[in-house]
Chains A and B, each alone.
Chain A
Amino acid sequence: SAVISQKPSRDICQRGTSLTIQCQVDSQVTMMFWYRQQPGQSLTLIATANQGSEATYESGFVIDKFPISRPNLTFSTLTVSNMSPEDSSIYLCSVVPLDRDAAYGYTFGSGTRLTVV
C-alpha cells in the first residue's frame, strides 16, 4: 500500500501566522484528502485535493483560510492561514492509491499536530 510522508509532525505557531503542511506519497494516487481531528475524536473532512485544479472544500471550510495545492499525483500541501487558537488541531492527509477502489479503504499520513498560541 502507499506510504505517506507528512511534514511537519508538529508545530507551535503564533496567532496570525500561516503554516504549510506537506504530504508526499511514494506512489501515484487518485484521490488525496485533508482532514482535521481533535485528539481522541473523529475526523472532519476539510477538502479534496484535485490534481491540476482547485480543491473541493467541505461546508465550513474556505479556500482563503485553507489554500490547497496539488501539483501532481504524489504531492499536496495544505496551508492554515492567519491562524487563531481555534485552529489548534491534528491535520491529516489521506489517499486512495491508483490500484484500489476507495470503498476498500484509505491510507493516512501520521498527521501534523498544530498548536496556535
Chain B
Amino acid sequence: TQLLEQSPQFLSIQEGENLTVYCNSSSVFSSLQWYRQEPGEGPVLLVTVVTGGEVKKLKRLTFQFGDARKDSSLHITAAQPGDTGLYLCAGAGDSNYQLIWGAGTKLIIKP
C-alpha cells in the first residue's frame, strides 16, 4: 500500500516569514501534485511535478520533486495572508487515475 506522509499538519506564522511543507513516501510516484483549498471550496491544482529533481516556481511558491520521485516539498517565500489555506499533496502511483493523498497542511498566515 502506498502512503504519502505530509508535514507539518498545522503551521501558523507571521506575514513575511518563509515556510516549507514536505511530502514523503517510500514509494515511487509517476507524478506529484500540489493543491490548495480554501474554506467552502474544492481543492485547486497548483502544480504537477513529473521528473525526478524537477523544480517549478509559481510566484513565491517553489515546488521540488525528489530525485528518486519519492518525495516533494513546497516552499513559500515571504508568506502573505492570502496564502492561508489547506495545502494537499497527492501522488499518482500504480494507477494514474487514483491518487494517494497526504494528510494536508493547514497554513495560517497572520498579518
- Top 8 A-B residue pairs of the complex, sorted by shortest distance between their CB atoms: A108-B42, A105-B45, A103-B31, A102-B96, A103-B92, A103-B96, A42-B104, A102-B97
Q: Tell me whether A57 is interfacial, beta carbon within 8 Å.
A: no
Do A101 and B96 have beta carbons less than 8 Å apart? Answer: yes
User: Do residues A110 and B99 form an inter-chain contact, with CB atoms below 8 A?
Assistant: no
Q: Given the complex of chains A and B, what is the CA–CA distance between A9 and B97 in angstroms?
A: 26
Which residues in B have their C-beta under 8 angstroms from that of A4? Answer: 42
Q: How far is the CB of A80 from chain B (nearest CB, A)?
A: 18
Q: Inside 8 A of A111's CB, which chain B residues have their CB?
A: 40-42
- Hey, what's the 0/1 contact readout for A34-56 against B, CB within 8 Å counting as 1? 00000111110100100000000
Interface residues of A in 71-117 (CB under 8 A from B): 92, 94, 96, 101-111, 113
Specify which chain A residues have a CB less than 8 angstroms from the CB of B35 in the assembled complex: 108
Q: Which of A6, A39, A92, A104 contacts B48 (CB 8 A)?
A: A104
Given known contacts A102-B97, A103-B30, A103-B48, is B86 in contact with A40 (CB within 8 Å)? Answer: yes
Number of residue pairs spanning A and B whose beta carbons lie under 8 angstroms apart: 61
Q: Which of B30, B88, B97 has the most CB of A within 10 A?
A: B97
Q: Which residues of B contact A (CB under 8 A)?
A: 6, 30-31, 33, 35, 39-45, 48, 50, 86, 88, 92, 96-99, 101-104, 106
Nearest neighbor of A10 in chain B, beta-carbon distance: B40
| A31 → chain B closest CB, angstroms | 5
- Decide: A103 near B50, CB < 8 A? Known: A40-B86, A43-B43, A96-B97: yes
- List residues of chain A with CB within 8 A of the CB of B42: 4, 6, 92, 94, 108-111
Interface pair B103/A42, CB less than 8 Å apart: yes
**A48 to B92 Cα, complex, angstroms:** 15
Other-chain contact of A110, B30, B41, B45, B50 (Cβ < 8 Å): B41
Query: Contact: B104 with A41, CB < 8 Å?
Result: yes
User: What CA separation (Å) do A45 and B97 show in the bound complex?
Assistant: 11
Partner pick for A43 among B44, B45, B101, CB 8 A cutoff: B101
- Given A40-B86, A102-B92, A102-B96, check contact A108 B44 (CB 8 Å): yes
Contact residues in A for B41 (Cβ distance below 8 Å): 110-111
Bound complex: CA A105 to CA B98 (Å): 11
